[in-house]
Structure 1
Amino acid sequence: MDETSKKVICLVDGEHYFPVTKSAIDKIESKGYNVELLLFIGGTEKLRDTNVDVISEFFNKPVIFGENHKKIPYNLIEENITKFNVEMVIDLSDEPVINYSKRFKIATSVLEQGAIYKGPDFEFKPLKEYDVLKNPSYKILGTGKRIGKTAVSAYTARLINEEDKFTPCIVAMGRGGPEIPEIVRGDKIKLTPQYLMEKSNKGFHAASDHWEDALMSRVVTVGCRRCAGGMAGQVYMTNMVEGATMTNDLDIDLVAIEGSGSAIPPIKTNKQIVLVGASQSIDTLTEYFGPYRIKLADLVIVTMCDEEICPKEKLNLLLNKINEINPNAQVIPTIFRPHPVESIENKNVLFATTAPESVQHLLKEYLEENFNCNIIEISSNLSNRPLLQEDIERNIDNVDIMLTELKAAAVDVATKDALDKNLDVVYCDNIPIALNENDNLDEAILNLVHKAADDFNKK
C-alpha cells in the first residue's frame, strides 16, 4: 500500500497540552496519514476534564483511555490495531509517562500485530515473511549467537529422519554463506575432513552452518547467506527466499528453516522453535526484543543449562520469566554433550570447542567415560583463530586425533593444521539433553513436527 494512504493510531498522553497534541496530529495528517484513533497511554491524572466525548470532539477523532493511568494499556494497543486495521502506530507520548523499557514492550506488542511502531526518531518494522514453501515446515530461531541453533537444528532433523515418516531438509543462513544458495546432499555424500579442506581451499566457508547441518544430521541441506541483523531480527540482505524455494523441487517432505545469531529467517513456517541461551543475561531476554522472539515460540529450548554456566537461581528465574512471556509454549531446559561422529577409542585427543572453559571438566569426563579416550587438552578458542593456533601448536605433538566441532575456524585452522601434521581429524556433534528427567525433548520435537504438518494440510 502507498505510504500516503496508511491508517494509523496515535499514542498520546495527558502531559501534553491538547492544542500541542492537536498540532502534531494535524501535521501527521498533512503528510497523507489517516489518524483513526487517539489512545491515551498515561498522564490522564493531569487532565481537568476526562470526558471522552468532549475530548473526542476537540480532536475530531475517536479517543480511548487506559483503565489505569499509571500503566501502559498494551492490550488496548493490540486490540485496536486489529480493530482499525492500521499499519502503523505513531507514538506522540514522552517521559514521565513512557521510558525506554516501556517503549520496547509497546514495540513488541505492535510488531506482534504486524504493524510498524514509529516515533520522532525511531521506527521498528515487523518481520517480513515470505510464504514460499510447499511442504510442512518449522523454524529454529534464537535469542543470540553461540547458543546452539545449528546443533539443535541438526539434532531435530536427524531425529525426524530416523524416528518418523518425514524426509526433512534444512535451510540455513549464515554470515559466511554462499552467494548462490548451495545444496549439500548430506544424505548421499560423506563429508570427510579432506573434502571440506578442498572446499576451504577453493574459497568456501566450509564450516558454514549448512555444512555442519549436513555432516551431523545426514540430511540434504541448503546453504544461504545473510548480512546484518536488526533489533527485532530483520536481516539487511539474504538469499534465503531463493534457497527456501529450491526445496520445493527436492525429494523431501519437511523443511527446517534455521536462523543465524538473533536474526530471524524471513520465511513463513507452520511452527517455530525458539532457542534461549541460559548463558545470556536475564535483561537481554526479558527486555528489549527478547520477549518478541520468545513470544514467537511454540516450543522453547533453553540451552547450556549447566550450573557452571547458569546457576540454579538464575535458571529458575529465567524459566519463570519465559513462562510469563509465553505461557502457551512448552519450555525444556537442556545441556549439550559432545558426540564424535567417528571413533576416538584409545586415542589421545585435542578437543576444540566453542564451549566456555567453565564446563571443560564436564566435557572431558563425558568424552572419556562414553568414548574410551584420553583428552589431553580442551581448547575453548574455536572462534578465536590466533589463540586456537597457539593451542594446537602446543599440543599437536602429544595427540593422535584433532577432535573439533564444525564451526568457526574448524576447517581453515583446526583441520588444516592437523592434516598438515598427519593427524586424524574427527568432527564432533553437540547433543541436546533434557536437564530434567520428566522432560521428553524428542517427544516435544516430534509433536511439534506433526502439528506443523497438520497446520500445513489445513491450508
Structure 2
Amino acid sequence: YVSNVREAAELAASLHPGLVILEGSGAAIPPVPWDAGIMVVPATAPPEYLGGYLGPYRLLRSDLVVVTMAGDPSGSENLSALRSPVRRYLDDAAFILTDFVPVALEDIRGKEVFYATTAPLTVVERLIRRLEADHGCTVVGWSARLADRAGLVEDLDAVQGYDVLLTELKAAAVDTAVARALDRGAEVVFVDNRAEAVEGSVDLDTALGGAIDIALGRAEDRL
C-alpha cells in the first residue's frame, strides 16, 4: 500500500518539537517506530479484538489502554471481558476507563438550550443532566439525529423556542442545524466531547502524562 506516514514523521522530527504524536486510523498501526503507545478501545469492542487476531501484538506495543464510552449500558457489560487480555499483557495501571462528557465551548449559564448530538439514545439523558449540572443551562429540546438531516430538522422544528443551539461540530450541524437556529434568532455554541476517567484514582491527564514521560525517557536512552 502507499503511505506517506514515514515521510511525515521524519519531517515532524526534523523540526525538533520535543514530542511527535501520531494517530493511527481505525485498526491501522503507524508504519514507523515509536517510543510509547496508547491504545484507544471503545467499551463496546468485541473482546476477541484484544485477545485474538493482532490484539495481543497491539497490547504489547502499548503503554496505556484507554477505554472510551464506559458509561454506555451496552459497553459496561463488556468491560470485564476487555480487561482480561489487558491484564494478561499489561498491569492494571495501564488500563483507564473513560466516558465522554459534553463541554460547552462558551458560557451558556441561564440559557434555554437545544442540544444536538450523535450520542446513542441510551446515554443522551445522562449527557443532558451533566450539561445542566456543569453549565447551569436548561435543555428544552434535543436531537440524537445529528447524522440524519431529515430527522434533525424534525427534532428542531418540534421545539417552540430556545436561546442557544448547542451542537457537536458535524457537517449537518453547519448546513442544517446552525442555519435553522440563526433563522430563529438563536445563538450557536459548539460542544466538545471530552474523555473523563470514571474509575480508579488516576485521571486521564495523569495517565497520558505518564505515557509521554515514558516516551521521552526512552527517546533519551535511545539517543
TM-score by length of structure 2 reads 0.83
Distance 2:20 2:156 in 1: 38
Deviation at 1:245, TM superposition (A): 4.5
Deviation at 1:360, TM superposition (A): 1.0
> Does residue 309 of structure 1 match 2:52?
no
Unmatched 5+ stretches in structure 2: none
Q: 1:61-80 to 2 correspondence within 5 Å?
A: none
After superposition, give the CA deviation of every residue in 1:113-146 in whole Å (9 maximum; x if it has no partner).
Answer: xxxxxxxxxxxxxxxxxxxxxxxxxxxxxxxxxx
Opposite residue 64 of structure 2, the aligned amino acid is: L
Which residue of 332, 342, 345 corresponds with 2:109?
A: 345
Deviation at 1:422, TM superposition (A): 3.8
Distance 1:420 1:249 in 2: 49
Which stretch shifts more, 286-295 or 271-280? Answer: 286-295
Deviation at 1:379, TM superposition (A): 2.1
Distance 1:418 1:237 in 2: 43
Opposite residue 361 of structure 1, the aligned amino acid is: E
Deviation at 1:443, TM superposition (A): 1.8
Residues 308 and 270 of structure 1: is their aligned pair in 2 closer, same or farther, counting only changes over 3 Å?
same
Opposite residue 135 of structure 2, the aligned amino acid is: F
Task: Name the SS for the 1:256 alignment partner.
Answer: coil
> Does residue 445 of structure 1 match 2:180?
no
Aligned to 1:413: 176
Aligned to 1:434: 197
Q: 1:290-329 to 2 correspondence within 5 Å?
A: 290-306=55-71, 308-311=73-76, 313-324=77-88, 326-328=89-91
Deviation at 1:420, TM superposition (A): 4.5
Higher relative contact order (CA 8 A, sep 6+): 2
Indicate conservation of the 8 Å contact 2:105/2:191, yes or no: yes
Deviation at 1:457, TM superposition (A): 2.1
Aligned to 2:119: 355
Opposite residue 120 of structure 2, the aligned amino acid is: P
Distance 2:31 2:142 in 1: 37
Aligned to 1:230: none
Indicate conservation of the 8 Å contact 2:102/2:131, yes or no: yes
Deviation at 1:251, TM superposition (A): 8.1
Task: Name the SS for the 2:20 alignment partner.
Answer: strand
> Does residue 268 of structure 1 match 2:28?
no
CA RMSD of aligned residues (A): 2.7
Deviation at 1:308, TM superposition (A): 2.1
Distance 1:280 1:391 in 2: 30
Task: Name the SS for the 2:74 alignment partner.
Answer: coil
Distance 1:403 1:330 in 2: 34
Task: Name the SS for the 1:258 alignment partner.
Answer: coil
Indicate conservation of the 8 Å contact 1:257/1:267, yes or no: no
Residues 307 and 423 of structure 1: is their aligned pair in 2 closer, same or farther, counting only changes over 3 Å?
closer
Distance 2:19 2:121 in 1: 37
Task: Name the SS for the 1:255 alignment partner.
Answer: coil
Residues 243 and 436 of structure 1: is their aligned pair in 2 closer, same or farther, counting only changes over 3 Å?
same
TM-score by length of structure 1 reads 0.43
Deviation at 1:340, TM superposition (A): 0.9
Residues 251 and 292 of structure 1: is their aligned pair in 2 closer, same or farther, counting only changes over 3 Å?
closer
After superposition, give the CA deviation of every residue in 1:13-71 in whole Å (9 maximum; x if it has no partner).
Answer: xxxxxxxxxxxxxxxxxxxxxxxxxxxxxxxxxxxxxxxxxxxxxxxxxxxxxxxxxxx
